[in-house]
Structure 1
Amino acid sequence: MSTPPELLPALQHERDISYWAVSVIFLLPYDFILRLSLEIQYIWKSPWTLFKALYLIQRFLPFVDCFFLLIIFRFAPGLSEKECYYGHRALMFTSTVGVALSNIVSSVRIWNFDSAFRHPRSDIQVFEMLVLPIQTHRSLTPLIVAILPIPNFRGCFIIDGDEVYTIWITWLIYDTSATVLMLIPAFWAYREGGLPNLLRVIYQDGALYFMLMLLLSTANIVIIKTLPSEFTLVLGPLQRVLHCILTSHLIIHIRQVASKNIVIESTPL
């Protein structure tokens, strides 16, 4: 059976997006190896606490959902439509849990050093934990995936994923709120005479982190609403990976500065 000509552009897009996803995923082991010595020094050698457990879960969970689930449902042959549907749901739910954990880890660490930031940030954290799982379930229910009847077809093909954008709207609300809550106290502190080294790192790294996530969430929404369905998850792996990597960098950099009372000159992110 030959490939229908009208499907060729979509299949080309799907192949390119799959290769792009793999290249993004390999940022995880690259970053882990690159910063392994710092991770051992500032994380692994620290006493075991609930915070450390949450950090390690959010650090290694992407290796499960990105390497295992994403690559399988991009490249595995012989999948059924049911396997594709529930596989994509599992992928999005584990990714959502991972993103929420990354946000919790960054929030808890910031709360420890900035009590003024604690109560409003805890409110939006509760909002994220309550709304995000519900919204993820609702947005994935109408997701339509298919197995195309063409020779040597691998993975799954998304036919309709328009409602997935609502997940990124929830993240957009969270990231916007967090960015504002980071910038306001930082602005007033600078006006009143500057910040200690540690708080400067927290505000600088935290603001950059949330602003980058805000931009990616916005880009995801625009792509989903304007481009063909095969582009639905094109930026999803990048945002998932960066949530993990940047949270890890933030925590390690804070611990570096707290232990040495210096600001590392190289970029923390």
Structure 2
Amino acid sequence: MSVFSAAQALSAMRLQTVKYMTTASTTILFFDYSLTLALEVSLIWPSKWSLTKILYFLSRYMPFIDVPVNIYYLTPSVSLPHCAQLNTAIATGNVFGIAVAEAIFVLRTYGLSGRRRKVLFIFGTLYSLCVVAAVTMMGIFLRNMIYSPPPLGIPGCNLTGGPFVLVGLSFIVVLLNETALMSYTLWIGYKTYRHTKSPVLATLYRDGISYYVFICLGSVANVAILVAAPPELRELLNTFLRVMHSILSTRALLNVREIENKRLEMSVQVTTGTDIHFASGDM
């Protein structure tokens, strides 16, 4: 086999790896949905409409629009001229979805602070600046993408050029926002709640720390891939990170609602000796 043919085969294998990762991410999305749908129906659907509930549904169901577009992006049906248009739609959905997930965690932090408006203003402002920065960098990237024909007839789009460092920086911006939220969460937890035995607070902290660790590891891995990996692999984690932002943010709300609902049920049973059930209120 010639050197040129070996290079083509390696390039095709990398593109195929991205397809496998997209398929695996789609499977994770549907599997998590099947696991948590019953909780959603019982805890989210009956609650009053609020900003939290709207953000939940956006974070929960937008991936079912974004991910199919991601899959179509990798099919033989896509012509080279349409690749940039599709990737613009995908990137827009990813940025919007991640922004919604981050908004949920801003509200979580606001709730932990005792609903202090100063906290909401500070982190709301930081969140807005991060969103503007990420959107600006993604906009520049999308205007400078370069596509080439896929090697060896591999179906789908082959993004081979562009300022990938800007995409990496947008993930670093998300990480900075999450670092600020997590730092404040740990500080207020130590200062205010270290002697409290509330299971709701324990859940908020557990989910917050787990989310932060995942975002940190995922962002670092994605930045490394975007900066140093071959062009064919630079979209490897796109769908996976989009799906996981949705799963982690919605599970955080479901977990809090579930524990709060159980706490209310136990309180009513102890007080009245009956099995009256209440839907938990908005976080």
Runs of 4+ residues deviating >6 angstroms: none
| Partner residue in 1 for 2:49 | 48
| Partner residue in 1 for 2:235 | 233
Residue among 177, 183, 186 paired with 2:186: 183
For the aligned residue pairs, the C-alpha RMSD in angstroms reads 2.1
| Partner residue in 2 for 1:17 | 18
Equivalenced residues, count: 256
Paired with 2:146 and 2:36, the residues of 1 have a C-alpha distance of 39
Conserved? CA contact 1:62–1:240, under 8 Å: yes
Residue among 175, 185, 202 paired with 1:200: 202
- How far is 1:210 from its partner? 1.9
Cα distance per residue 1:7-43 (max 9 Å; x no partner)? 1101011112211211111111111111111110111
In the superposition, the TM-score normalised over structure 1's length comes to: 0.87
- Of residues 170-179 and 93-102 in structure 1, the stretch that sits farther from structure 2 once superposed is 170-179
Tell me the SS of whatever aligns to 2:73. helix
Paired with 1:31 and 1:107, the residues of 2 have a C-alpha distance of 23
- How far is 1:50 from its partner? 3.6
What amino acid sits opposite 2:106 in the alignment? S
Conserved? CA contact 2:222–2:237, under 8 Å: yes
Tell me the SS of whatever aligns to 1:159. strand
| Partner residue in 1 for 2:69 | 69
Cα distance per residue 1:195-249 (max 9 Å; x no partner)? 5332222122112212211221111111211211111111121111111001111
Paired with 1:236 and 1:176, the residues of 2 have a C-alpha distance of 21
- Of residues 36-45 and 195-204 in structure 1, the stretch that sits farther from structure 2 once superposed is 195-204
Conserved? CA contact 1:62–1:244, under 8 Å: yes
Paired with 1:149 and 1:204, the residues of 2 have a C-alpha distance of 45
Tell me the SS of whatever aligns to 1:44. coil
For 1:97-112, list aligned pairs within 5 A: 97-112=96-111
Q: Relative contact order (C-alpha < 8 Å, sep 6+): which is higher?
A: 2
- How far is 1:45 from its partner? 1.7
- Of residues 46-55 and 238-247 in structure 1, the stretch that sits farther from structure 2 once superposed is 46-55
Tell me the SS of whatever aligns to 1:248. helix
Conserved? CA contact 2:133–2:170, under 8 Å: no
Paired with 2:120 and 2:197, the residues of 1 have a C-alpha distance of 18
- How far is 1:183 from its partner? 1.9
Conserved? CA contact 1:182–1:207, under 8 Å: no
Paired with 1:128 and 1:33, the residues of 2 have a C-alpha distance of 33
What amino acid sits opposite 1:173 in the alignment? L
Aligned residues with identical type, % of pairs: 23
Residue among 253, 257, 260 paired with 1:258: 260
| Partner residue in 1 for 2:141 | 139
